[in-house]
């Protein structure tokens, strides 16, 4: 039997900045030595069904990784394990730094104003200026005192990103955060995420169903199938990326093939 999950992580779904420290909205996340995340033999069963099957994965500090796969392939299960939200996994999982998550739903507390959502549980001496700086960075300086239910979908997701980044994670987990947005808002959010990533330099794991989104954002795209990483594609094209670039087209076709999508279905 595989060993039980060994977690060496402080997870920033709850407050993670130590008392007396200050978040640096304009600075870099601190980088621990070694990988930002290391997984060995990770297994997750739901009854008789094996969703993750002795999966191995390393994410380098500052690396932007996209994870794609068919529905039910275990993408969100892996993300939840990395976030420390799933205690039912077996194997070895090491995330030595701080972790923050942005979900598909922004999950803002509706009875607290935007800035109160950002400062909720934030353990710094003076959280208000830190939160205001984070909201300004994501373009919500004018919505600091707004109620969450008055925000647009894009604004709510920006608030969710501010809440995650204000904790200075070394690993940022994004669980399909753009899937419910319209096309123009999604493009805007892609640009924002890349700008924030380049500025703060966390490692990022983006779970997405959208191959084009993965190719536009990531340094490396992983395909998850049968509970394991079945394909890994490094992308060294400059950003912003041209989806009509021959190399981009070739990568897209290869990834779709790995996902079991016939070439004729992509034309």
SS3 at position 201: coil
Residue 10 is predicted with a pLDDT of 34
Six token digits for residue 19: 């008392």
Helix, strand, coil percent values for the chain (each to nearest 5): 30, 25, 45
Distance CA 172, CA 62 (A): 10
Residue 21 is predicted with a pLDDT of 33
SS3 at position 60: coil
Domains of the chain: 10-19+29-266 (3.40.50.300)
| CB neighbour class for 220 (10 Å; exposed up to 12, middle 13-18, buried from 19) | middle
Q: What is the pTM of this model?
A: 0.85
The strand ranges marked E within the chain are 10-11, 37-46, 49-59, 64-68, 90-94, 98-102, 171-175, 203-207, 220-225, 228-234
Distance CA 78, CA 164 (A): 19
Instruction: Identify whether the C-beta of residue 36 lies closer than 8 Å to the C-beta of residue 124.
Output: no
List per-block mean pLDDT (blocks of 10 residues) for the chain, which spans 267 residues: 40 31 40 83 94 96 96 92 92 93 92 94 87 94 96 94 92 92 92 94 96 96 95 94 93 94 61
Residue 266 is predicted with a pLDDT of 54
Residue where the block lists tokens 């779904």: 13
């Amino acid at each position: 039997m595989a060993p039980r999950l060994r977690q060496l992580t402080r997870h920033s779904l709850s407050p993670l900045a130590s008392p007396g420290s200050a978040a640096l909205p304009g600075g870099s996340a601190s980088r621990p030595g070694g990988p930002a995340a290391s997984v060995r033999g990770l297994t997750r069963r739901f009854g008789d069904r094996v969703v993750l099957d002795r999966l191995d994965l390393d994410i380098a500090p500052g690396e932007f990784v996209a994870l794609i796969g068919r529905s039910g392939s275990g993408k969100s299960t892996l993300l939840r394990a990395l976030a420390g939200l799933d205690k039912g996994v077996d194997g070895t999982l090491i995330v030595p730094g701080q972790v923050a998550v942005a979900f598909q739903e922004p999950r803002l507390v509706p009875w607290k104003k935007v800035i109160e959502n950002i400062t909720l549980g934030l353990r710094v001496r003076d959280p208000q200026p830190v939160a205001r700086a984070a909201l300004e960075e994501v373009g919500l300086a004018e919505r600091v005192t707004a109620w969450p239910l008055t925000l647009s979908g894009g604004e709510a997701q920006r608030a969710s990103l501010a809440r995650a980044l204000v904790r200075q994670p070394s690993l940022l987990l994004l669980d399909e955060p753009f899937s419910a947005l319209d096309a123009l808002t999604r493009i805007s959010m892609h640009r924002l995420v890349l700008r924030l990533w380049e500025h703060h330099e966390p490692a990022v794991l983006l779970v997405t169903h959208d191959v084009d989104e993965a190719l536009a954002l990531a340094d490396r795209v992983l395909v998850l199938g049968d509970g394991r990483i079945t394909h890994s594609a490094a992308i060294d094209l400059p950003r912003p990326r041209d989806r009509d670039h021959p190399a981009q087209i070739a990568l897209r076709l290869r990834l779709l093939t790995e996902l079991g999508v016939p070439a004729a279905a992509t034309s």
